[in-house]
Amino acid sequence: MTISLIHFNPDTGLAASVTATGGVAVGGYVNHSWRGLGACATQGLYTNPWYAEKAKAYLAQGLSAKEVIEHLKKDDSDYAKRQCAIVDEHGNAAFINGDENIAHVESLAVPHLAVAGNMLENSTVITAFADTFLQLTTTNPTQVKTGEKPKYQEGYEQRLPEILIDSLEQALEAGGDKRGTYSASLRVESFSKAPIDIRVDWANNNLIEHMRKVLSHVKEEGFQTFLKHLPNH
């Protein structure tokens, strides 16, 4: 299994992603966040790691998520083995859900948010992932699920790393990976501060606890001082 959530806020240009899998080092291949452009998760039976590079270039040209997906499919004769989610600069999403991926294969899109997973224990994992994220970030989660523009809670972007981990935790508790879940990654890019990139490449147990431990070190005063002195452009 790989399960991913990607988010883009068109009003601020913030991009975020979080992913987890039953394999090793998921952050090296799957989740990508590009401030001002969008976000991507590339996964599936056999991940195509070059989707991200191509998707970023297409988004930079102003293509929509749907158009990017069509280009990726056209360029890849084995796209039936892939799962890919794209969110563009307008917060719209599109997917590849290849027929040769292992069930359950699910995806879900609402404004500014996309969630996708394969080899899932059950079909409720995706909804738990998205529902938790919306509850923790918006004041109108029910309306967002029917297509209304999100109304974001004050300061949600500052809390986003914690929110991504909390949302992933609920997805895993809903079923997660048939094999177990051993690696996870999140990335947040904005125009207001340095990127946050947190990875656990392998944990035999307590994956979420390991993610929170890494985040706790990121939030320590010494590292925060370092981040504040990094350029934003």
- Report pLDDT digits (tens) over 90-141: 999 999 999 999 999 999 999 999 999 999 988 899 999 999 999 999 999 9
**Would you say residue 100 lies in a domain?**
yes
Write the burial class of residue 133 (CB in 10 Å: 0-12 exposed, 13-18 middle, 19+ buried).
buried
Count how many domains the chain has.
1
**Would you say residue 21 lies in a domain?**
yes
CA 68 remoteness from chain centre: 17
The CATH code of the domain that includes 142 is 3.60.20.10
| pLDDT tier for residue 178 given thresholds of 50, 70 and 90 | low
Using alpha carbons, select from 59, 58, 53, 2 the residue that is nearest to residue 27. 2
* Domain span including residue 66: 2-228
**Would you say residue 233 lies in a domain?**
no
pTM above 0.75, yes or no: yes
Q: Which two tokens stand for residue 201?
A: 């490449």
30: left (phi over 0), alpha (psi -120 to 50) or beta: alpha
What's the rounded mean pLDDT across residues 216-220? 96
Helix segments in 76-201, DSSP class H: 124-137, 141-144, 160-173
Question: What is d(CA 109, CA 200) in angstroms, rounded to the nearest whole number?
Answer: 26
Q: Which two tokens stand for residue 176?
A: 């997660």
